[in-house]
Amino acid sequence: MATESAEGEPIEYFLEEQRYHGRSDRTIEAYGRVLRRYEAFLAAEGTEPVAAGRRECMAWVHSLRADLEPSTVASYASYVHRFYEYMTTVGAFDGNPMALVLEEMDESIETNPQRRELSVSEMRSFVRSIAHPLERALVVTLLKTGMRVGELCNLDLRDLNLELEGLDVESRPRVQLEARPASLFVDADAIRGRSVNGESRTASNKRKRSTTIPVDDELAAVLREWLAIRPDPVSSAEPLFLDTGGSWGQRIEPPEVRYVVERHARRHGWYRTGGGATENVTPHYFRHFFTTHMRDRTGDRGVVKYLRGDVASDVIDTYTHNWGDRVRTVYEHNIYSIL
C-alpha cells in the first residue's frame, strides 16, 4: 500500500525526490525514461508499480530481451530496483519485488562477452583527445585501475594518498594508506544506501574485501590536473570526483560517467546505439581492457585478481600482506602508458 503522498503518481514522486537529493537532470531523465517504460508494460498487464510482484518484474525483464542487449537489460532492471528500494525505504511501498529478480539476473546474464579489441596505442589516441581535466581524470582512473564505475564514483579525497604540494587542497589520507604513498583505496563498505564517511551512498562497491591500488606517474599527473580546478564539494565527505555541470559540486554519479565515456567513444566510432557490450566502449569496457592487457603483460593472475578486487580469500590475503613488495612492483613494471 502506498502512502498518501505517493499513491497517485509514485514515479513522479520518486523523480521529484531525486531532484531534492541533487541528482543531475541526465540521471533523472534516465530514471524517468526507464520507469515510464516499466509503468506502460504493467498497465498493459492490468496492474501498476505499487501492486506489481516478482512475476510481473520477471515478465517485464523478459520483454526487454527481445530488442535490447543483456547489459542494457541489466541496467534497466537496476533502475527499477532502485526505484522500489527507495520507495520501500521511505515507506511508500511495502516491498521490492525486483530484488530477487536482479539477483537471479546476475547469474544468467553473460558477464564476459566477446568485446571490441583495442590496442594500447589506439587507447592512447582516445585519451589524448579528451581535454577536460575531470573527464580525462575519470577515464584515466578507470583505465589505470580496472575499478568499476560505482567504485570510481564512491572515491573520497581521503581514499587518495598523493603528493599534492602546490595545490590548494587539504587532504589527510585514511589510515589504511598512511604507509602506502601514491595509492588509491577502494572501500568494500561503500554500499548503496549505507552512510560512509558521513554521506549516504547511491552506488555500491561490489568488492567483498577492500583493495589498495598503486597510482603511477600518469594517473598522478591527471589527478593533480583535476584537483587543481576541482570545485568546493557540497558533501562533507569530500568526494574525489565532482560534477562540474548542472549538479555543480555534487558527487559525480555513474550515469554521468557513462555519458562522458559514451560521448567520447561516439566521436571515435567506438559506440553505436544498440551496439551492446560486444561493440561499444563503456566504463565497464575499461575494466576489460585493464584485465586483458595486465594479464598479458604480467603473467601473474594473482596480482590482477587482487587489483580487480576479485574475492578469492587466498589471493586477497597473500597480496594484502605483501602489497609493497609484490603488488606495487608488478604493477609499476607492467602498467601501460596511455598519455
Torsion angle of the four alpha carbons 215, 216, 218, 222, in this order, in degrees rounded to the nearest 10 = 20
Other CB atoms within 10 Å distance of the CB of residue 116: 17
Say yes or no: 125 and 228 in one domain. Answer: yes
- Flag whether 153 is in a domain: yes
Residue where one domain finishes, among candidates 85, 108, 131: 108
- Flag whether 1 is in a domain: no
Q: At what angle do helices 70-89 and 10-20 cross, to 10 degrees?
A: 80
Say yes or no: 151 and 92 in one domain. Answer: no
DSSP state of 239: B
Q: What is the pLDDT along the chain (339 residues), one digit of tens a residue?
A: 344 455 568 999 999 988 887 777 878 888 999 999 999 999 999 999 999 999 999 999 999 988 777 777 888 888 898 899 889 888 888 889 998 887 777 544 445 556 788 999 999 999 999 999 999 999 999 999 999 999 999 999 999 999 998 898 888 999 999 889 999 999 998 988 899 999 999 888 888 788 999 999 999 999 999 999 999 999 999 999 999 988 899 999 999 999 999 999 999 999 988 888 788 999 999 999 999 899 888 877 778 888 888 755 555 555 555 555 678 888 999 999 999
Residue where one domain finishes, among candidates 76, 108, 140: 108
Q: Report d(CA 325, CA 321) in Å as an integer.
A: 9
Prediction pTM value: 0.68
Q: Which helix (H) or strand (E) holds 59?
A: helix 54-64
Q: For residue 272, give the CATH number of its domain.
A: 1.10.443.10
Q: Report d(CA 189, CA 208) in Å as an integer.
A: 8
- Flag whether 113 is in a domain: no
- Flag whether 325 is in a domain: yes
DSSP per position, 143-203: HHH---HHHHHT-BGGGEE---TTSS------GGGTT--SEEEE-TT--TTSEETTEE-SS
Its domain, for residue 102, covers 10-108
Q: Are 56 and 42 in contact (CB under 8 A)?
A: yes
Say yes or no: 80 and 146 in one domain. Answer: no
Q: For residue 19, give the CATH number of its domain.
A: 1.10.150.130
Taking only Cα atoms into account, the Rg of the chain, rounded to an integer number of angstroms, comes to 21
Q: How far is CA 24 from CA 87, 230, 249, 294, in A?
A: 19, 18, 11, 35
Say yes or no: 127 and 59 in one domain. Answer: no
List of residues 6+ apart from 267 with CB closer than 8 A: 129
Instruction: Report which residue type is found at 50.
Output: V
Say yes or no: 14 and 64 in one domain. Answer: yes
Q: Report d(CA 156, CA 47) in Å as an integer.
A: 42
Say yes or no: 147 and 280 in one domain. Answer: yes
- Flag whether 238 is in a domain: yes
- Flag whether 282 is in a domain: yes
Say yes or no: 186 and 86 in one domain. Answer: no
Say yes or no: 268 and 289 in one domain. Answer: yes
Q: Report d(CA 37, CA 49) in Å as an integer.
A: 11
Q: What pLDDT does 258 receive? A: 94
Question: Which residue shows C-alpha cell 516478482?
Answer: 54
- Flag whether 3 is in a domain: no
Indicate the number of domains in the chain: 2
Q: Are 179 and 169 in contact (CB under 8 A)?
A: no
Nearest to 93 by CA among 50, 55, 54: 50
Say yes or no: 197 and 287 in one domain. Answer: yes
Q: What pLDDT does 334 receive? A: 92
Residue where one domain finishes, among candidates 61, 77, 108: 108
- Flag whether 114 is in a domain: no
Q: Are 281 and 267 in contact (CB under 8 A)?
A: no
Say yes or no: 93 and 132 in one domain. Answer: no
Question: Which residue shows C-alpha cell 541489466?
Answer: 74
List of residues 6+ apart from 307 with CB closer than 8 A: 145, 146, 211, 213, 290, 294, 327, 331
Say yes or no: 329 and 209 in one domain. Answer: yes
Q: Report d(CA 276, CA 327) in Å as an integer.
A: 33
Say yes or no: 189 and 78 in one domain. Answer: no
Instruction: Report which residue type is found at 47.
Output: T
